[in-house]
Structure 1
């Protein structure tokens, strides 16, 4: 048996076996010295590191996508992206530390939970029977709400802001517990959540309702609460350091510059990350943003030693895994080549590199930097040890496989679905009710659901109909034409109630034309900010506003019940809502929320 095979088999043993293999005394339960969890992780990680080749060490520092729904699926996209045919071959070729799953058309890894479990097992088998013999981190962006990779029949939870609107941190812990448990059941052992940004910019185009709050205290409380739930099953990731909440542009398509002072940063953006570190967060994800008060060189934070090492490592005392946001994003690619980026990130203090555009180029760039002495070997070992410690602490090293036959006993079970609905019910926030329209004096026989969202308007209409009000849907999108407005007005004439869904009026102001025209019909009109709550601050004739912070199934069910008077709204705003574009004037303050 080779040294590497001995190492893997040791890692597959129960904890006591790992400790015995690494030299930590485990003679008997009665006589063994007490060993801290940190010492156990250090010992196991150190032993796992021994004997790894440079290529295998560097492989542990990379996390990438794979194309396909089974480990052995021959997918031409893998040949184009990685020079091999199957997901398993990608893992084996590059000795990967981790993979990340997606549900979109180009990298679709999700069909159903049982299929995902089998995919995970197949990839883990590839990892432990080749190369470094180290099991994979298998990750997903499962924040809930807008950012959900594994949807129904898995349990769907609202966006972070909807959860914090309910002001119950225990519910946040419950949500994360269920999310983590269901992910682990299908072999996903790391969640890139919770979002720990403070959404201080109402026109932030990429964070918004993914953040718990525009106030650091509330955001910190809910980040901590979710970490408590995730810790029961999966590794969690606080993102996006040093704080993406004030960004004026989307780092997927540009390089945002945040001009906050360092003092403001410490007061506003740091607290949720400090709270996450205090809670023992497994990893922290960097942001592709310029932050001149923290690094005048204008390097994106991901590549900035003053931000990653000086602020996060030294000042905040974080010694866990730091992972980049996706290296495909334009925010990190504006100033440097794809060959330079991974080397600069490691020099900055990052440990893992997520989704480089050209994986082989990125790996070869790091290997060349080590061989030339540009990156010392001790720097690579430092990051690999952090990765291996995470894998030990979260049970990945010695328990990477799952049982597909038991998946549906955990995923989407009735108790979890009920919890998700209870959480959604608490999030609906009544922002304005100036004419006293709600609660309705009697249940309407008919309703029109119009405004933004093809599926959202249709789904809400179905919910209202299921609750006894015959509803029809007519979607007009974010930029309603005059003809669409006229059609909506005509259809409103035959409805007892009109519900108008909006999404991002700041960017798409034509939605207010629809609101005003419908209000002028004399029909009762309820406007719903179906994503960001800031829509309610923009001038319109409508006097009744609700906020949902999202549009998943449980949220629309909760909305239908509030609109029809079956439940009362109890949500409180997690942010200040400014008066339209005047961000310096607060129209509806943090904590505001009507009920009846």
Structure 2
């Protein structure tokens, strides 16, 4: 019989480099890791993802009768690891703008069905953080809303839909990151909210998720002094993970840490140190996404601690039971045959249209009424990753192509999210000779030069429409804009929906799910 210390690897979920899954061979065969997380660096498209998952489970079967957890962050919107061969939805805030449980269930069901058929059995979604702080750099449109009740209603609908298809959904980031002022990928945030306030705000969606039977809850690398006076991040806090989440809120599923290589914890502790502290605090699975040496050091440190401390051994035994129980319920659908499914584009595009929100429309300027001789100038910021959790952006060519089909007289510029003086000058020259201007913003509220560019273009006095294609908070910084639209997403479905609304082919029925301030 194996000693419990030999099973330390089962408590770890790890990432690896490159598109060849045999790169994880040593971690699976020698260190017996219990889970693998996939990123865009590992998968090219749907067919390749299926082959990767199949190979990973084959490696696992060489050393264990139970499967790997294979996880991915497929939230939709700005966080989607696979974008080729699957349906990419516009994301949580777009769903919040529809207010529709039916759309939310549909998106959850399609995402789960496609992922399960690819061999993925855990989705690190949905985000349950409340978008209560417009200046939060890490949440924004990943959240459903600034309204806790709406977040609770839609997130629980998505969780139920995802788990109907055998996938494990994940509620994140406990106990709530919405009020954070910095991104935990870069440093440790502190949320100093009173417990009474958090009960009716941050905790509400998690109570609903637990009632919905969510399989995983992911911890936040964030300190909550009113919940744990020591100042420890929730990931490493026994009062938060055991006292609050387990005992008070009654969660019986799997508690997984966010990545222990994130600066929010690694600036203070090595991943090995954090792994020990998190396991002692009540975490069941320890996530280390990137560095092989740090992964191995953490596994070996946990094994030594199990050997040395009988009390710690007992806690680890409880985690292994929770993990084993969850794995026994997995369906294993992705191991049967190569996936054959079409994109559910109609659903994603329907959601995107229903989400599109006209915030202001003086004139009205929408729908556009352009004479064939008139020129439309379009200014588009680069749709790049703004935070470390993001990977795949959408080509701006989708927007330009859709507009040209309807109005060929088009001039456009693509600029950086924080445009240079030369870019700003070029945009001004183009827009001076245009008849109508369409300006897209991409988190303008976080980029002063982008904000300056928009103000300068609006000052030209031309008929202008501003479309926020990520966080809608941008529109609160440009009160002089006569026509404003929010799409909550820059994905293909959202850009197509925007064009349909601008040219009067679809009605924008979305409602702002946040307060612009």
Q: Smaller-chain TM-score range? A: over 0.9
The correspondence for 1:277, drawn from 210, 226, 229, is 210
Aligned residue in 1 for 2:162: 230
Which of 420, 440, 447 in structure 1 is aligned with 2:348?
420
* Mapped contact 1:241–1:286 kept (Cα < 8 A): yes
Matched, 1:241 2:174: yes
Secondary structure of 2:335 counterpart: coil
Tell me the residue number matched to 2:379: 450
1:69 to 19, 32, 46: 19
Give the superposition deviation at 1:442.
4.4
Report the Cα distance in structure 1 between the residues aligned to 2:70 and 2:118, rounded to whole angstroms: 10
Scaled by the length of structure 2, the TM-score of the pair is 0.93
Instruction: Find the aligned partners of 2:377 and 2:435 in 1 and give their Cα distance.
Output: 8
Superposition deviation, residue 110 in structure 1: 1.0
Choose from 177, 181, 195 the match for 1:262: 195
Contact 2:280 2:312 in 1 (8 A): no
Over 3 Å counting, the alpha-carbon distance change for 1:508 and 1:68 in structure 2 is closer
Aligned to 1:498: 437
Cα separation, 2, equivalents of 1:362 and 1:501 = 45
| Alignment correspondent of 2:471 | 532
CA–CA distance in structure 1, aligned partners of residues 143 and 309 of structure 2: 41
Task: State the secondary structure of the residue aligned to 1:110.
Answer: coil
Q: Provide the rounded CA distance (Å) in 1 between the counterparts of 2:330 and 2:377.
A: 49
Residue of structure 2 equivalent to 1:5:
none
2:25 corresponds to 1:88: yes
Q: What is the rounded CA distance, in whole Å, between the counterparts of 1:292 and 1:418 in structure 2?
A: 46
Corresponding residue for residue 60 of structure 1: 10
Query: Are the equivalent residues in 2 in contact too, given 1:451–1:502 (CA < 8 A)?
Result: yes
Q: Deviations over 1:554-590 (max 9, x none)?
A: 0000011111111121110111111xxxxxxxxxxxx
**Cα distance change on mapping 1:339 and 1:203 into 2, 3 Å:** same
Matched residues in 2 for 1:167 and 1:487: separation?
Answer: 40
Contact 2:43–2:49 (8 Å) recurs in 1:
yes
Matched residues in 1 for 2:25 and 2:396: separation?
41
Note closer, same or farther for the CA distance 1:89–1:352 as it changes in structure 2 (3 Å cut). same
- Residue by residue, what CA displacement relative to the aligned partner does 1:98-121 show, whole Å, maximum 9, x if unpaired? 101011xxxx21122222111111
SS at match of 2:376: strand
> What residue number does 1:350 align with?
283
Higher relative contact order (CA 8 A, sep 6+): 2
Q: Give the match for residue 31 of structure 1.
A: none
Q: Which residue of 1 aligns with 2:298?
A: 362
Spell out, residue by residue over 1:135-174, the C-alpha distance to the aligned partner (whole angstroms, 9 max, x if none). Answer: 1010000001111001022111002001110111111110
1:47-196 aligned within 5 A: 51-72=1-22, 86-103=23-40, 108-130=41-63, 132-196=64-128
- Whether the 8 Å CA contact 2:87–2:345 is kept in 1: the answer is yes
Q: In 1, Cα distance between the equivalents of 2:102 and 2:174?
A: 25
Is contact 1:70–1:118 with CA below 8 Å preserved after alignment?
no
Aligned to 1:207: 139
Shift of 1:385: 0.9
Q: Given the alignment, which residue of 310, 322, 337 partners 1:403?
A: 337
Query: Is the counterpart of residue 515 in structure 1 residue 454 in structure 2?
Result: yes
* Displacement after TM superposition at 1:441 (Å): 3.4
Q: How does 1:20-35 map to 2 (within 5 A)?
A: none
CA distance in 2, matches of 1:492, 1:257: 43
The yes-or-no answer on 1:571 pairing with 2:510 is yes
1:431 paired with 2:359, answer: yes
- TM-aligned CA distance change 1:457 to 1:66, over 3 Å: closer
Note if contact 1:65-1:99 (Cα within 8 Å) is conserved in structure 2. yes
SS in 1 for 2:171: strand
CA distance in 2, matches of 1:169, 1:418: 17
1:544 CA displacement: 1.1
Q: Deviations over 1:469-512 (max 9, x none)?
A: 44332022233334322321221244343111112233212323
Q: CA deviation at 1:272?
A: 0.5
> Closer, same or farther in 2 for the Cα pair 1:375/1:67, shift >3 Å?
farther
Aligned to 2:264: 331
Q: Which has the larger radius of gyration?
A: 1
For 1:466 and 1:298, the matched residues in 2 are separated by 56
Match in the other structure for 1:42: none
**For residues 498 and 448 of structure 2, what CA distance do their matches in structure 1 show?**
24
Match of residue 391 from structure 2: none
Q: Which moved more, 1:250-259 or 1:487-496?
A: 487-496
Q: Matches of 1:170 and 1:52 in 2, distance apart? A: 48
SS at match of 1:143: strand
**Contact residue 237 and residue 284 of structure 1 kept, 8 A:** yes
From 203, 228, 238, give the equivalent of 1:295.
Answer: 228
| Number of aligned positions between the proteins | 502
Partner residue in 1 for 2:314: 378
